[in-house]
Structure formats: structure tokens, C-alpha cells
């Protein structure tokens, strides 16, 4: 049977997490796959021995590569991607747990539209968390009702990122200019988008990510992040945070507002909507990076103002049609260096 997807798993210490990750892949993956594990010179006792004795399953064959030095995220992943020749490749962190149907659903999303080049699963990475004693497996089972459905997103995230073979043929591999970590996945997404593809999140599957655990041994994480951020922003510009404060009085301008929101999303900015209840039925774009909060009419403007100013990360642009609210936000903007604009 032909291998449908090459799974490229980057390993670096964290043996306990790695075992949980691999066990979940072997247990929950129904597609015919090859699991390529690239170990980035791990030093943890027992990890190399574990990888040397690791066996595959009926669906998955395993190949392991041992680097002599830690080559960082991009170069480590690229070593595995260069070994890949399947229709799809999926890069994986060692701190994830996959659930039943995860890969089948991601491939289904990728195949549903020729414009989709990169796919992520639903995940706590995007704010979807199991709550109230609900297990991850139960949450994943509930999401299967959305089989085949997907939503566009600004950029894929490399914890579990499916890439079509045709995308790799056109744009190559991850940019290793970013060094050890951070922004390689966002950069790759921008290159894919420049080539005419979109990034999507599959709604019908779930992968749990122990965020930040795969890089816990990284020295000077903040310095590494800041350096990669500078490289990314020099190349692509800064990702803006944009807010819209919309009341029911703005209903007549709905088409213009929708076009403005779409323009911001097309520029890969993140958008928040503070909407007066009754306007939320508007034809706003469905997009993972469009966050909407509907609030009652009583004290709507005051509550929206408070929600904007209390956020730790400032908004770069704030849109409102209300003159009084714009005046208050402009005064706030002077303090936070935000631009306030009419709609």
C-alpha cells in the first residue's frame, strides 16, 4: 500500500513527552504513513536507546535519524522533509498528543480545496480546550461532527502542520535563517500564501499540544524569540492587532465594514470585533484570526472601551463610527500609540 503521508517528528530531550507523543501516533493514525524521527542531539539518558528499539505498527513504518549536534528547528525538520516523498508531509513537535482520526481529517481538509496548501488540526493551541472534566478524547469525538469542515487562518503553526507535496515543490523547505526556533512556520506560511495557497484549520480533528514544553531546554528563549521576530518583521512586516467597535447603528455600513475586515485579514493581521448584540448576524468573514465578542446594548461603548484598554498587548489600529468613542479611544491611543480611525 502506498504511503500517503510522511510524518516528520523532531526529537530533543523530553523523553516522557516523546513516548506519549509516539504512542498516540501509533495508536490513533489510520493512514498508511512513515514516521521519520529526527533527533537533534538529545542528551537525556535513555532517549537514544528508546528510539533505537522503537518499532512501528501495521500502518506506520519508522525511520530514525540522529544528528551529531542540535541543528535547531528548521534544519532538523528540513532533514526529515528532504527524506519525504509522499503526497503529504506533516511536521510534528515532540510534545503533542494526537487523537483518533487526526490525520485523516487533516488530509480531507487539504484535499477539499485546491487552494489549501497548509493544514493545522483543531487544538488548545487555538483556544479550544477540554473543560469541566471532559477528556481530550471526548472533546475530539465531539468534534467529529464537523468532519470535512475547515476555517481559513493567517498562518500554520508548526506543532502539527500538514503540507501538500506541491507546496514543497514550489517553495522548498523551512528557512533556516531563523536559527534554533520561532517564526519558521509563519515564514513558511507567508511563502505558501505568496505562491497562491491558503492556510486552514481542520475542524473535525483534535491534537493536544503541551505548549512550550518542547523548547524548555532552550537557553535564552526570549533572546532567541526576539532575534527570530526581527528577521521575520524585516522580511514580512509586523503582524498588526486591529479592533472594530460596532453598534447596531453601523448596520447600514455592514458591507463596507466587512470589506475593511477582509482587507485586514488579507494583510495577515489579527482582528477583534466588539459588537453590540443584534449585529453579530452580519456577514462577517469566517476566519480563525477574527475574534468576535457580542455584548448587550447597556453600557456597550463603556464596556468595549474597557475591554480594549485592559488588554496587555495594545491594538495598533482601532475602528469606530461613534465620534465620542473615537475621541476617548484617541486619548487612550496617545498613551498606547494606537491609531484610531472612523469606519
Percent of the chain with pLDDT over 90: 73
- pLDDT at res. 325: 87
pLDDT, mean of residues 13-39:
97
* Three-state secondary-structure class, residue 154: coil
**Mean pLDDT score of the chain:** 92
> Is the model's pLDDT at 217 over the cut of 60?
no
pLDDT, mean of residues 188-214:
92
Parse the chain into domains and list their residue ranges. 5-235, 241-341
> Is the model's pLDDT at 208 over the cut of 90?
yes
214-223, 231-240, 325-334: the lowest-pLDDT one: 214-223
User: 216: which residues sit within 8 A by CB, 6+ positions away?
Assistant: 14
- pLDDT at res. 126: 96
Give strand ranges (E) for the chain: 5-11, 33-39, 60-66, 88-92, 96-98, 116-122, 150-153, 160-164, 198-209, 241-246, 270-276, 290-295, 317-320, 339-341
Write out the DSSP string of 168-181. Answer: HHHH-S--GGGTTS
Q: Which grid cell sits at 86?
A: 509522499
pLDDT, mean of residues 209-226:
76
* Three-state secondary-structure class, residue 105: helix
User: 78: which residues sit within 8 A by CB, 6+ positions away?
Assistant: 173, 174, 176
Q: Cβ–Cβ contacts within 10 Å for residue 253, how many?
A: 13
Give the CA angle between residues 257, 202, 11 to the nearest 5°.
Answer: 120
Give strand ranges (E) for 12-115: 33-39, 60-66, 88-92, 96-98
What pLDDT digit, counting tens, does each position of 261-311 carry?
Answer: 999 999 999 999 999 887 766 678 899 999 998 888 888 888 898 888 888
Length of the chain: 343
- CATH superfamily, domain at 5-235: Spore Coat Polysaccharide Biosynthesis Protein SpsA; Chain A (3.90.550.10)
Name the residue among 231, 156, 228 with its Cα closest to residue 186.
Answer: 156
- pLDDT at res. 41: 94
What pLDDT digit, counting tens, does each position of 51-81 carry?
Answer: 999 999 999 999 999 999 999 999 999 999 9
Name the residue among 22, 29, 181 with its Cα closest to residue 96.
Answer: 22
What pLDDT digit, counting tens, does each position of 132-155 carry?
Answer: 889 999 999 999 999 999 999 999
- pLDDT at res. 145: 96
pLDDT, mean of residues 31-48:
96
pLDDT, mean of residues 181-209:
97
Separation between Cα atoms, residue 36 and residue 80, nearest integer Å: 6
User: 68: which residues sit within 8 A by CB, 6+ positions away?
Assistant: 41
Please list the helix, strand and coil fractions of the chain in percent, rounded to the nearest 5, in that order: 40, 25, 35
Q: Which residues pair with 201 in a beta bridge?
A: 120, 151
Position 189 confidence tier, pLDDT thresholds 50, 70, 90:
very high
- pLDDT at res. 17: 95
What pLDDT digit, counting tens, does each position of 237-270 carry?
Answer: 999 999 999 888 777 788 888 999 999 999 999 9
User: 320: which residues sit within 8 A by CB, 6+ positions away?
Assistant: 244, 245, 246, 326, 329, 340, 342, 343
CA dihedral sign, ordered 110, 116, 120, 123: negative
Name the residue among 14, 27, 88, 94 with its Cα closest to residue 56.
Answer: 27
Q: Helices (H), strands (E): how many in the chain? A: 11, 14
Write out the DSSP string of 276-324. Answer: ETTSTTS-PPPBTTEEEEEE-STTHHHHHHHHHHT-SSPPSEEEES-HH
Domain 241-341: state its class. alpha beta
Amino acid at each position: 500500500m502506498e504511503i500517503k503521508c510522511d510524518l516528520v517528528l523532531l526529537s530533543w530531550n523530553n523523553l516522557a513527552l516523546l513516548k506519549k507523543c509516539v504512542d498516540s501516533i501509533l495508536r490513533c493514525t489510520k493512514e498508511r504513513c512513515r514516521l521519520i524521527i529526527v533527533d537533534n542531539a538529545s542528551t537525556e539518558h535513555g532517549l537514544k536507546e528508546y528510539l533505537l528499539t522503537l518499532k512501528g505498527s501495521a500502518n506506520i513504518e519508522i525511520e530514525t535519524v540522529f544528528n551529531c549536534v542540535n541543528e535547531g528547528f528548521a534544519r532538523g525538520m528540513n532533514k526529515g522533509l528532504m527524506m519525504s516523498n509522499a503526497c503529504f508531509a506533516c511536521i510534528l513537535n515532540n510534545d503533542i498528543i494526537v487523537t483518533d482520526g487526526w490525520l485523516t481529517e487533516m488530509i480531507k481538509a487539504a484535499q477539499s480545496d485546491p487552494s489549501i496548501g497548509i493544514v493545522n488540526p483543531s487544538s488548545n493551541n487555538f483556544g479550544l480546550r477540554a473543560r469541566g472534566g471532559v477528556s481530550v478524547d471526548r472533546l475530539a469525538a465531539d468534534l467529529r461532527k464537523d468532519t470535512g469542515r475547515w476555517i481559513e487562518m493567517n498562518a500554520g503553526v508548526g506543532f502539527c502542520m500538514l503540507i501538500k507535496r506541491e507546496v514543497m515543490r514550489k517553495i522548498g523547505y523551512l528557512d533556516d535563517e531563523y536559527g534554533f526556533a520561532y517564526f519558521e512556520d509563519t515564514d513558511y506560511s507567508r511563502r505558501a500564501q505568496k505562491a497562491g495557497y491558503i492556510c486552514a484549520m481542520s475542524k473535525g480533528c483534535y491534537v493536544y499540544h503541551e505548549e512550550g514544553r518542547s523548547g524548555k531546554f532552550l537557553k535564552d528563549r526570549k533572546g532567541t524569540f526576539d532575534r527570530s521576530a526581527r528577521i521575520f518583521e524585516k522580511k514580512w512586516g509586523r503582524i498588526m492587532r486591529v479592533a472594530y467597535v460596532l453598534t447596531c447603528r453601523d448596520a447600514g455600513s455592514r458591507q463596507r465594514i466587512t470589506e475593511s475586515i477582509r482587507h485586514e485579514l488579507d494583510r495577515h493581521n489579527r482582528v477583534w470585533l466588539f459588537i453590540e448584540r443584534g449585529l453579530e448576524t452580519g456577514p462577517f468573514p469566517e476566519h480563525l484570526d477574527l475574534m468576535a465578542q457580542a455584548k448587550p446594548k447597556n453600557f456597550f461603548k463603556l464596556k468595549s472601551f474597557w475591554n480594549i484598554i485592559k488588554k496587555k498587548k495594545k491594538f495598533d489600529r482601532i475602528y469606530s463610527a461613534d465620534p465620542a468613542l473615537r475621541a476617548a479611544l484617541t486619548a487612550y491611543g496617545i498613551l498606547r500609540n494606537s491609531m484610531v480611525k472612523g469606519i
